[in-house]
C-alpha cells in the first residue's frame, strides 16, 4: 500500500487532516495597521450592569468608590500605551455586584471581520 502525499499546507496527525495556510506578507501588513487603528476612547464609566435587577438597573457609584478608583488607575496607565483593539478595561456585572462581574477589554460585543 502506498503512502498518501498531501500538499505542504496540510498536516496529518492521528488520521486527522489539518490545514495550515500562511497569510501573504502584504495582507499581514494591512491587517496589522487595521488592528492598531481600531480603538475605543478610554473614558468612564468603567463599571456597568448588563441586565440589572431592581436597584441594580442603574449603577451610579461615587468617584471615591474602591472599584472605581482601581479601574481609573488601570485605565489612566493604559492611556499612555498602544496596542491592537485599544480601549478601556471595564468591569461588567450581569445582574448585580453580589453575583460577581468580569473584566472586559475590546473587542467585546463587536463584529469580527473574517477575510
Q: What is the pLDDT of residues 32-82, one digit of tens each?
A: 877 777 888 899 989 988 877 777 777 788 899 999 999 999 999 999 888
Residues near 6 by Cβ (< 8 Å), separated by ≥ 6? 12, 17
C-alpha cell at 111: 463584529
pTM above 0.85, yes or no: no
Is 62 within a domain?
yes
Rg, the chain, Cα only: 22
For residue 99, being part of any structural domain is answered with: yes
**Segment 77-113, tens digit of pLDDT:** 999 888 777 889 999 888 888 888 888 887 754 444 4
Give me the pLDDT at residue 9, please: 57
Judge whether 114 lies within some domain.
Answer: no
Domain span at 17? 10-104
The total domain count for the chain is 1
Contacts for 57 with CB less than 8 Å, ≥ 6 apart: 49
Whether residue 45 has a cis bond before it, omega within 30° of 0: yes
Q: Quick check: is 109 in a domain? A: no
**SS3 call for 107:** coil
DSSP E strands, 2-95: 10-13, 16-19, 47-49, 90-93
Amino acid at each position: 500500500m502506498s503512502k498518501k502525499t498531501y500538499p505542504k499546507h496540510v498536516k496529518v496527525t492521528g488520521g486527522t487532516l489539518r490545514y495550515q495556510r500562511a497569510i501573504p506578507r502584504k495582507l499581514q501588513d494591512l491587517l496589522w495597521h487595521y488592528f492598531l487603528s481600531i480603538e475605543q476612547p478610554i473614558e468612564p464609566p468603567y463599571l456597568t450592569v448588563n441586565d440589572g435587577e431592581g436597584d441594580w438597573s442603574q449603577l451610579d457609584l461615587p468617584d471615591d468608590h474602591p472599584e472605581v478608583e482601581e479601574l481609573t488607575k488601570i485605565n489612566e496607565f493604559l492611556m499612555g500605551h498602544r496596542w491592537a483593539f485599544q480601549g478601556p478595561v471595564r468591569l461588567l456585572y450581569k445582574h448585580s455586584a453580589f453575583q460577581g462581574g468580569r473584566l472586559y477589554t475590546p473587542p467585546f460585543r463587536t463584529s469580527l471581520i473574517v477575510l
